[in-house]
A and B are shown apart, each in its own frame.
Chain A
Amino acid sequence: MSRDQLHRLVLDNGLRVVLAPNTVGASIGVAVHYRVGFRTEPEGRTGLAHLFEHLMFRGGEEAEPEGYLPRVQRAGGFGDARTRQDVTVYYAAAPASALEMLCALEADRMRSPSLSERNLRTQTAVIDEEIRLMVRNRPYGNHPWALPRALHRRSENVRDGYGETVDLAAFDIALCEKFFADHYGPGNAVVTVTGAFDHRTAERLVRRHFEDLPARPTVRPADPPEPLPEEERRLTVLDPHAGSPAVAVGYRMPDPVTERADYLAHLVLAALLGQGGHALLRRGPTAAAGASSLSVGCGLFGLPLDTVGPDLLTLFAVHEHERDAEHVLDALDGTLDALAAHEVAAAQLRATTARWVSGAMRELADPGTRAQLLGLREALFGEAELTHALPELVHAGVTGEHVSRAAARLRASHRAVVRFVPGRQAVPRDIAPETTA
């Protein structure tokens, strides 16, 4: 569907570049993905990938004194950054005229980020505020982090991304400089540009600003496979801010590379179960009665194909009474059994995939989001095209039989069930000790 033509470059220093011009529009998107995230940060340094993201946000030495974002905003753009399991992404959208400036700003911080003791202390405080906002001071703030904690065993796969307080307090500039040297070389990065530009011009600009960055070796930690869970793992979180109890369920997803067809079938299954007003768990005899709100999705953050590590299909439901948690689980099991035994009606499958497809295409309407999604799949799988192809792969490739197989697979697998119980005794971020092993 997309009008983007993908052009790839690999510079001599190892930097990978994806150019995706689109003739409609007057804006551009730029995303720089570094292949390090909270799952792949060094052992014993939890939270370092995210803290470093905050430090990088200041920009490079050339961007001083005002820093990266004020410069982008003055050019009529906006930008932000995210730390995910296996990548950290810096992205911006701006008028097309700002292309060279954005290239220069990104190359600047890839070369020499402006790191200072003072900013390290400030950003540590800002992150403390972020954790309060996102986790400690809101209802169900431990969702989704409690799910991988319950389901997985390897320490890198159970982290919450923000890091342990004790680790956060121990960071110093030397550690940050080492992290930069090990993980932020051009050979560990992907630059993606989308929107209104000519690819030859963009190539020239990218080369001008990034080509003279020196190559350096990347430290890539071993990533041993996470074993499949061997029993259902349950845990209870006391939540001091929750007004109603809630239940979260996490299933291990198929491997996104070696089991691609099954992975895609899970996307459709999640949509059938819980996306849209008429999803199976919302209506009819198998509805999850007692649920005040319900969502089902793939990927820890609701974005599929965003990690090479163990991925999750998740359900989250807020319910009225404690006992309703079991009703939600029964409804889920019953629906999966029915789908495994009988293929979903063809019309319902078509309707579900049509909605999924238009939702996926809608995300691609924004050049900044498009740059993030193309670059993400390039950085993780070497497959920027996957982002464009996904709607068609889901629309044409997922059959009722695939969905039945996915339902049977979930039913046969061992899941994590996390119950959020309104209560005051616990410190909000603490989770029952048996799960943090």
Chain B
Amino acid sequence: MTAGVAKNLLSYGSRPEKGVVAGRLQLPDADLTLGNGLRVVVCSAPVVPLVEIRLTVPYAATAPGEVAHCQLLAELLPRGSAHRSAGDHDAALAAHGATLNASADARKLTVTGHTMADGLPPVLALLAEALRGPRLTEEAVAPERERLARRIRLATHQPAALAQHALLRRRYGEERAARWQPTPEQAAACTRDDLARVHARHLGARGAVLVLVGDLEPEEALVWVTELFGAWEPGPEGDLPEVPPWFPGGPLRHVDRPGAVQSVIRLAAPALPRTDPGYPALHLAQLVFGGSFASRLVARLREDKGYAYQLGSGVESVPGASTLMVEADTAAEHTVAALAVIREELERMAAEPPSAREIDAARSYAAGSTATAMSAPGALASGLANLLHVGVGADWLHNWGPLLDGVSPDQVGEAARRFFRPADVTGVVVADERAVVPLCRGTTGELSF
């Protein structure tokens, strides 16, 4: 029931603060690394009497099934510790209005939470306790194991999740995709030994980043963090996220979903990592292409043709690599036409490079909306955590506006020519077979684009 603004796949931004100059975000109040390798980034943003907590622990899940083990460990982290039952742990958190959740993929474990400002020290203590010694009793593990297996299975019925899995296979091949994507069977077979092993191997302080944003005194927060997390074991060296390889363009993969009344289109092309000096130009080109409501793709596919409610482009970043993503959900009967429009717009990026007017609009949107989106401490905390994970500095948000100002129209034109070539694009279409018949290449399951 919303007007469905072009979906921005990015998650970054800025914050409002005393003394902010025209959308230029303040630097974090503190950014330091403890002796065990834990980096701590703290921002004072007293909008409401809460503190937002984000912890990212990077690693590489490499063994088969390991990502399922990491996900189960993430389910268990907010549910007690070696010394505290799930009930006691939850009651202790709730007493401060606090919530902690954890999730994991093949590259990182992320804890997301918030607490009333005055509960920060005890809540951090509970987090540190669970991190160092999660509750791995069979009584604690068994129900979560079953829940996770069911959840992974349920996700396969969501068309968007189905598309995401298929796209991973399309981009990186079966072997890598199998390593990065858990199966319900792997979750169901995960033992307490498996959990203890991934805990020892991956959940060390080295390289982890703790971000605190909200109603806090930075010096005081640092003292607490040092005291509570200083004894966290560093863990093995060199456990860094795997950088995904470059992938070639090529035919789209059809994933059959009989009876689907709408087709899920997900396209991808290799782009520049967030840390690359060319990234801001790519970002502006992407906003002109499909990353804003005024963009060419949204204007044509939604506001001209009415082919989609939710669509757009964005850049998905992981450590060392980024992917340009193009998404649209369109009625079965519009699938072929919508794909043709997307292709035309990709081609037009080279034939008709972004104009000065388009670039200016993209630039002011990129800088301003970042600051606007990050005016909530929760959004700022998530944005900082994501940016630090992909390897840019804590000053990225502060410098985002000037970085964009330094991009010339030629650089945007160059990015438009280089990264939007249809030949470099691959992807998936989750659709009823009848929707894609004209595109089918024999019975290979491949679709022409």
> With A and B bound together, what is the CA distance between A428 and B259 in angstroms?
10
How far, in Å, is B164 (CB) from chain A's closest CB?
14
Q: How far is the CA of A126 from the CA of B306 in the complex (A)?
A: 5
The answer to whether A76 touches B23 (Cβ under 8 A) is yes
B255 within 8 A of A: no
Cβ of A201 under 8 Å from chain B: no
Closest to B294 in A: A70
A137 to B360, CA, bound (A): 38
B247-274 interface (Cβ within 8 A of A): 259-262
Known interface pairs A73-B361, A278-B91. Does A366 touch B375 (Cβ–Cβ under 8 Å)?
Answer: yes
Expressed in whole angstroms, the minimum distance between the Cβ of A208 and any Cβ of chain B is 23
Q: How far is the CA of A70 from the CA of B367 in the complex (A)?
A: 15
Whether B364 contacts A1 by the Cβ 8 Å rule is no
B11 within 8 A of A: no
Name the distance in Å between A68's Cβ and chain B's nearest Cβ: 9
Interface pick from B55-63, B149-157, B186-194, B437-445: B149-157
> Which B1-58 residues have C-beta < 8 A from chain A?
1-5, 15-18, 20, 22-23, 45-50
> A95, A241, A361: which contacts B49 (Cβ < 8 A)?
A361
Q: Categorize the interface residue count of chain A.
A: 35 or more
Chain A residues 329 to 385 lying within 8 A of chain B, measured CB to CB, are 347-348, 350-352, 354-355, 357-359, 361-362, 364-367, 369
- Inter-chain contact B306/A84, CB cutoff 8 Å: no
Quick one: given A76-B368, A132-B262, are A362 and B50 in contact (CB under 8 Å)? yes
Q: Is A179 in contact with chain B by the CB < 8 A criterion?
A: no
Given contacts A27-B16, A73-B293, contact A122 B260 (CB under 8 A): no
A13-32 interface (Cβ within 8 A of B)? 22, 24-27
Q: Collect the chain A residues with CB atoms within 8 Å of residue B22's CB.
A: 95, 97
Instruction: State the Cβ distance, B420 to closest chain A Cβ, in Å.
Output: 21
| Beta-carbon contacts under 8 Å, A268-296 to B | 276-278, 283, 292-293
Q: Does A320 belong to the interface (CB within 8 Å)?
A: yes
A7 CB within 8 Å of chain B: no
- Which residue from A76, A93, A241, A347 sits with its C-beta under 8 Å from B367? A76
List the B residue with the shortest CB-CB distance to A78.
B369
B79 contacts A74, CB within 8 Å? no
Which of A50-58, A221-229, A406-414 lies at the binding interface? Answer: A50-58
* A84→B1 contact, CB < 8 A: yes
Q: Which residues of B contact A1 (CB under 8 A)?
A: 48-49
| A64-75 to B contact mask, C-beta < 8 Å, 1/0 | 001101100111
Interface flags, A123-142, vs B, CB<8A=1, else 0? 11111111011101111000
Greatest chain A CB density within 10 A among B48, B86, B262 is at B48
A27 to B310, alpha carbons, bound, how many Å?
Answer: 26
**Given contacts A82-B2, A122-B304, are A93 and B151 in contact (CB under 8 A)?**
no
Report the separation of the CA atoms of residues A292 and B144 in the bound assembly, to the nearest whole angstrom: 10
**Provided the pairs A127-B309, A132-B329 are in contact, do residues A293 and B154 lie with their beta carbons within 8 angstroms?**
yes
Chain B residues with CB under 8 A of A354: 94-97, 116
Residue among B329, B360, B364 making CB contact with A76, cutoff 8 Å: B364
Flag if B90 contacts A278 (CB, 8 Å). Answer: yes
* B:283-312 near A, CB below 8 Å: 292-294, 302-310
| Complex alpha-carbon distance, A134 and B309, angstroms | 10
What CA separation (Å) do A26 and B19 show in the bound complex? 9
User: Interface majority SS on A: helix, strand, loop or mixed?
Assistant: mixed
Interface residue? B373 (CB, 8 A): yes
Q: What are the residues of chain A within 8 A of B132 when measuring CB–CB?
A: none
Bound CA–CA A134/B159 (angstroms): 12
A196 within 8 Å of B (CB atoms): yes
Fill in one digit per residue for B166-201: 1 if any A CB lies within 8 Å of its CB, else 0: 000000000000000000000000000000000000
Q: Does A254 contact B (CB under 8 A)?
A: no
Chain A CB within 10 A, most for which of B17, B369, B375: B375
A292 CB contacts on chain B under 8 angstroms:
147, 150-151, 154
B114, A362: Cβ atoms closer than 8 Å: yes
- CA of A161 to CA of B1, assembled, Å: 8
User: Is B319 among interface residues, defined by CB-CB distance under 8 A?
Assistant: no
Closest to A66 in B: B294
Contacts of B386 in A (CB 8 A): none
Known: A73-B361, A121-B306, A358-B114. A27 touches B371 (CB 8 A): yes
Contact of B23 among A26, A84, A361, A365 (CB under 8 A): A26
CB closest residue in chain B, given A92: B372
Task: State the Cβ distance, A316 to closest chain B Cβ, in Å.
Answer: 13
Least CB separation from A395: chain B residue = B97
Known: A69-B5, A132-B261, A365-B376. A137 touches B95 (CB 8 A): no
CB of A72, distance to nearest CB on chain B (Å): 8
> Which chain B residue shows the least CB distance to A289?
B143
Enumerate chain A residues within 8 angstroms of B376, measured Cβ to Cβ.
Answer: 365-366, 369
Contact A242–B375 (Cβ < 8 Å): no
Q: How far is the CA of A136 from the CA of B154 in the complex (A)?
A: 17
A278-B91, A366-B379, A367-B375 given; A80·B3 CB < 8 A:
yes
Q: How far is the CB of B76 from chain A (nearest CB, A)?
A: 11
* Interface membership of A205, Cβ < 8 A: no
A220 within 8 A of B: no
Complex Cα spacing A364 to B261, Å: 38
Known: A95-B22, A358-B116. 12 other contacts (CB 8 A): A53-B3, A66-B294, A77-B372, A93-B373, A94-B368, A122-B304, A130-B309, A137-B329, A277-B90, A278-B86, A361-B48, A364-B48
A-B contact pairs, 11 of them (CB 8 A): A27-B16, A69-B5, A74-B364, A93-B373, A126-B302, A243-B154, A276-B94, A358-B115, A359-B97, A361-B50, A366-B375
A interface residues, Cβ below 8 angstroms from B: 1-2, 22, 24-27, 50, 53-54, 57, 66-67, 69-70, 73-84, 93-95, 97-98, 121-130, 132-134, 136-139, 161-162, 195-196, 240-244, 276-278, 283, 292-293, 318, 320, 347-348, 350-352, 354-355, 357-359, 361-362, 364-367, 369, 424, 428
Instruction: Give me the interface of B with A, judged by CB distance under 8 Å.
Output: 1-5, 15-18, 20, 22-23, 45-50, 78-79, 86-87, 90-91, 94-99, 114-116, 147, 150-151, 153-154, 156-159, 259-262, 292-294, 302-310, 329-331, 360-361, 364-365, 367-369, 371-373, 375-379
- In order of increasing CB-CB distance, the 8 nearest A-B pairs are A76-B368, A125-B306, A25-B16, A358-B97, A70-B294, A351-B94, A26-B16, A366-B376
